[in-house]
Amino acid sequence: MSGPSTYVPQTGLTRWLDTRLPLVRFAHDTMLSFPTPRNLNFWYAFGAILTFCLGVQIVTGIVLAMHYTPSALVGSIPDSNLAFDSVESIMRDVNYGWLLRYVHANGASMFFLAVYIHMFRGLYYGSYKAPREVLWILGVIIYVLMVLTAFMGYSLVWGNMSFWAVTVITNLFSSLDQVIPHLGSAIATWLWGGFAVGDATLNRFFSLHYLMPFVIAGVVGLHIWALHVPGNNNPLGIDVKGPQDTVPFHPYYTVKDGFYVALFAILFAALVFYAPDLVGDPNNFIPANPVVTPADIVPEWYLRPFYAMLRSIPQQLAGVLVLAGALLTLVFIPWLDSSRVRSNRFRPVMKVFFWVFVADCILLGYCGSEGVDAAWHLGGIELSLVWVARIATAYYYIYFWVLMPLIGLIERPLPLPDSIAKSVLGASAAPAE
């Protein structure tokens, strides 16, 4: 991968294998000797944490699928459905089923928490800039696949919030009727497998929900491949200049990532064991009911920023376009940023707007959590949250499409250190200790 391979097969078997399928060499070069900048901080552990999350979701998900029934039909329990009943059976009858399900359901939240930190870290240190554009775009693809997977996974409970979330989101396609009559409705019917959200919809969502994690795992493979060609970016955002700037991945980053994965697991376990329903919605403990709409239909917390954007636009098709555009924008970031400097550490102006952007995303999430009529009273002035969301949505776009290209041109960055080694070792550049 990056640099010549340092692997030397030690046994007859590995020498034989190395000239036929250099699998051990590949593992050695990517996971053991891989030269990694020595100055990676805590925020760089989220790649390992995300790999852990994907593994947890796949393992728990496979076992859950053994006990789950993807059917919206009514079983022996009245006013319910087989999918909801099987989820409750997992919670009550399956050995440790409650544990598997709580880990899987809260695992989705932890996965998104980690991916958002990972993305903000990439934004802050300019990890999307050349030569890592493909790496960044693959990450955006993984994120979009995660959103789709989480959405379909949430539907599988077939509780009342599941049902209405599917209804609201799939109905968004009908806004395409405004462009070509009947196009959107036709797409919605095709997605549903019928003329309404129902058994066929749940069945296909289950099928796709089972498929997607493996697609994600494939793109993660490409993501890591694309990482290993240019190598890691680092908090200084400067290129690695030689071996003095790096350490081998193992043991330096296996142990560091391992420590942070364990810390992350503590937070994960606290949620699973002590507050497993914290981020859930009570309405999803009621079986799907097509004639009773929940008072407020809200997605899980990790999709609420986008939900706030969607809701803030009064015209449905425009809202859908704003939502899709917000995701699509991420693809163009490598070419929107005009700065020569990667890391915001050396960008005094952009750094401020970055933190405003982080706050903006949290604000959008908050707007998406509140009821449609919610408002703030600021010294006698009533400010409806719809307007707050509109302003926040505008800033989201302005940040990428105006500030990123503009500030790179006018900002005067701080002087960059000569090398990672010099920055780490101080001005003397003599080995410390």
Partner 1 sequence: MRFALPLGLVLGLALAAPAAAETTPPLKDVHFSFEGPFGTFNRADLQHGFQVYKEVCSACHSLNRVAFHTLSEEGGPSFTDAEMKAIARGYNVPAGPNEQGETTDDKGQPLMRPATPSDHFPPPFANEQAARTANGGALPPDLSLIVKAREGGPQYVYSLITSFGEKPPAGHVVPDGKYYNPYFPGGNISMPQPLTDAQVTFVDGAPNKIADEAYAVVTFLSWAAEPHLEARHRIGLGVMIFLIVLSGLLYLSYRKVWKDTPH
Interacting residues with partner 1 (CB under 8 A): 38-40, 77-80, 85, 88, 91-92, 98-99, 102, 247, 251-252, 255-256, 258-259, 262-263, 265-266, 269-270, 272-274, 276-278, 282-283, 285-286, 295, 301, 359, 362-363, 365-366, 369-371, 373-378, 382-383, 385, 424-425, 431-433
Least distance to partner 1, CB of residue 300, Å: 12
Question: Which residue, 68 or 136, is less far from partner 1 as judged by CB?
Answer: 68
CA–CA distance, 343 with 339 (Å, rounded to integer)? 10
Question: Which residue, 91 or 222, is less far from partner 1 as judged by CB?
Answer: 91
Q: Print burial letters for 272-292: b (CB count within 10 Å at least 16), e (below 16).
A: beeebeebbbebbebbbbeee
| Largest distance between two CA atoms of the chain | 81
Least distance to partner 1, CB of residue 205, Å: 22
CA angle at residue 33 from 27 to 38, to 5 degrees? 135
CA–CA distance, 155 with 284 (Å, rounded to integer)? 10
Contact indicator for 328, 319 with CB cutoff of 8 Å: no
Question: Which residue, 14 or 89, is less far from partner 1 as judged by CB?
Answer: 89
Question: Which residue, 175 or 369, is less far from partner 1 as judged by CB?
Answer: 369
DSSP 170-210: HHGGGGGGGTSTTHHHHHHHHHHTSSSSSHHHHHHHHHHHH
Least distance to partner 1, CB of residue 22, Å: 28
Question: Which residue, 317 or 374, is less far from partner 1 as judged by CB?
Answer: 374
Least distance to partner 1, CB of residue 272, Å: 7
Least distance to partner 1, CB of residue 365, Å: 7
Question: Which residue, 377 or 412, is less far from partner 1 as judged by CB?
Answer: 377
Helices (H), 277-415: 304-312, 316-336, 348-369, 385-398, 404-410
Task: State whether residue 428 is helix, strand or coil.
Answer: coil
Least distance to partner 1, CB of residue 233, Å: 15
Q: Hey, how many other C-beta atoms are within 10 angstroms of the C-beta on 180? A: 9
Least distance to partner 1, CB of residue 314, Å: 21
Question: Which residue, 328 or 356, is less far from partner 1 as judged by CB?
Answer: 356
Residue 2: name the closest of 342, 249, 255 by CA: 249
Q: What is the DSSP letter of 417?
A: P
- Centroid of chain to Cα 171: 24
Question: Which residue, 193 or 258, is less far from partner 1 as judged by CB?
Answer: 258
Least distance to partner 1, CB of residue 42, Å: 12
Structure tokens at 333: 């970031």
Contact indicator for 314, 124 with CB cutoff of 8 Å: no
Least distance to partner 1, CB of residue 30, Å: 19
Q: Print burial letters for 91-107: b (CB count within 10 Å at least 16), e (below 16).
A: eeebeebebbbbbbbbb
Question: Which residue, 149 or 283, is less far from partner 1 as judged by CB?
Answer: 283
